[in-house]
Amino acid sequence: MINEYTIYKYLEFSIFALYLILIFLFIQIWFSWKDIDKKELMLKSIVNESFFRKNCAYIFSFSILSLVHEFFEGSAIQNAIVFFEFFEFLAIICLVLFVYNWYIVLKTCANKKSLLKELAIFSR
């Protein structure tokens, strides 16, 4: 029988897994930033209206869901804790989608270097 506590545990584990995915994407973006052609990035991402709209939607959704989560978490309603944690779960999903969207754009703007060139630069 699945009770409220079991669902809460699964939600908390899923949120933790999403944080790990978020950290992985941040690290990938950080490592690829030095190989990004900044002029190409400006042309591809900032000028692209659909990219801008998606990012605005992700940030707006993240903000609203986080506010709803924090507002109701501090309330006296304790029977619906799973419902309120679900808002946090959805907020983190919006944040992961936002970062993933940036990762995809940055990955296409990166100048690909072979591993041998990277090792040669690293060994200097």
Cβ atoms 49, 124 nearer than 8 A: no
What does each C-alpha distance from 9 to 6, 14, 94 come to in angstroms? 5, 9, 21
- Three-state SS for 111? coil
Q: What is the per-residue pLDDT across 35-91, written as a single tens digit (0 to 9) for each?
A: 777 776 666 666 677 888 888 999 999 999 999 888 877 776 666 777 788 889 999
State how far the Cα of 101 lies from the Cα of 103, in Å rounded to an integer: 5
Q: Which two tokens stand for residue 26?
A: 């941040």
Q: Between 113 and 9, where is the model more confident?
A: 9
Taking the CA atoms of 74, 72, 19 and 47 in sequence, report the sign of the dihedral they define.
negative
Q: What is the pTM of this model?
A: 0.77
